[in-house]
Structure 1
């Protein structure tokens, strides 16, 4: 039967630890260096305002978190942040409610945060439409001339404005 490799030896081979604790042991006339594993256990409620049912403290178990499983751990905890921020998107100001749920590390990117805040999502969608329009205009001279004509003809702008209000 083959001898199983210890977890510490396997980890050292795969991903060397940043912290290595050693101590000297006197065995007979010689000294032997022993290495201690560096294990940290953190106890806390990291789900914040999550809607996932919370377990009692006595029922909690340690979860091994590493680069390979952090998204799975976050999905199981579903950490949530619910808070009020200054509304700088409208002239009347005031406060705006923001409710963010994180199910993976990718959810912390600005693009994903914007998808969870409705007013910001609408602004990004409008920006994308304007960018598409700009790209179409730059590739289409006829459309560019037509838009120039509409913008320089104030009567045409008023007429379009009235039509838009009536719809």
Structure 2
């Protein structure tokens, strides 16, 4: 007689939850195991772009550690949020849409990559970290950057310059004067 799939899976990957009970058969006590089957009925898709099928048309999906990412991608959970924009400090709201297709999409860095203002800040942070790495052991570059930072007089001049106080364009030049960049 062929071995059942349940017993084959017990050898390959034993279940984490085993429920047993004692049964008295004659004068002997025998242990019987109850199979554990869990079914979850839930809308785990968040705010789907397409409407979900009716409840009676849906089928159970077996999920395990081997197919979790495929099932997650097929569900396509999505979250749309409106949060306070604390980055600008002007009291505005920021519309955010998060999509999850893989378990790794829940990682904080992956979430940051989906929010444009946070992604820009994170990229700037990475560039600063790269600069710090380049400064490590490079005394010439370190001295040059310290000189640039120490020259606050020139920096203040550039910041205080206004477009209306800039030098007028030479005659015959049709382009407007370039605005100074801080």
TM-score, normalising length: structure 2 = 0.78
Give the aligned partner of residue 105 of structure 1.
Answer: 103
Give the aligned partner of residue 77 of structure 1.
Answer: 75
Deviates more, 1:57-66 or 1:19-28: 19-28
1:160 deviates by 5.5
Give the aligned partner of residue 125 of structure 1.
Answer: 123
Specify every segment of 5 or more residues in structure 2 that has no aligned partner in the other structure, as ranges.
Answer: 162-177
Query: Is 1:42 aligned to residue 40 of structure 2?
Result: yes
Contact 1:100 1:116 in 2 (8 A): yes
Structure number with greater CO (CA < 8 Å, separation at least 6) is 1
Q: In structure 2, do the counterparts of structure 1 residues 22 and 46 end up closer, same or farther at CA, with 3 Å as the change threshold?
A: same
Residues of 2 paired with 1:131 and 1:30: CA distance?
71
Residues of 1 paired with 2:143 and 2:32: CA distance?
80
Q: In structure 2, do the counterparts of structure 1 residues 23 and 143 end up closer, same or farther at CA, with 3 Å as the change threshold?
A: closer
Give the aligned partner of residue 58 of structure 1.
Answer: 56
TM-score, normalising length: structure 1 = 0.84
Give the aligned partner of residue 8 of structure 1.
Answer: 6
* RMSD between superposed Cα atoms in Å: 2.5
* Structure with max Cα Rg: 2
Residues of 2 paired with 1:67 and 1:52: CA distance?
27
Question: What is the aligned residue count?
Answer: 165
Contact 2:158 2:180 in 1 (8 A): no
Residues of 2 paired with 1:56 and 1:49: CA distance?
16
Give the aligned partner of residue 180 of structure 2.
Answer: 166
Query: Is 1:88 aligned to residue 86 of structure 2?
Result: yes
Specify every segment of 5 or more residues in structure 1 that has no aligned partner in the other structure, as ranges.
Answer: none
Contact 2:76 2:99 in 1 (8 A): yes
Task: Write out per-residue CA displacement over residues 83-140 of structure 1, whole angstroms, 9 at most, x where no aligned residue.
Answer: 1222221221332222111101111110100011111100000001111112222232
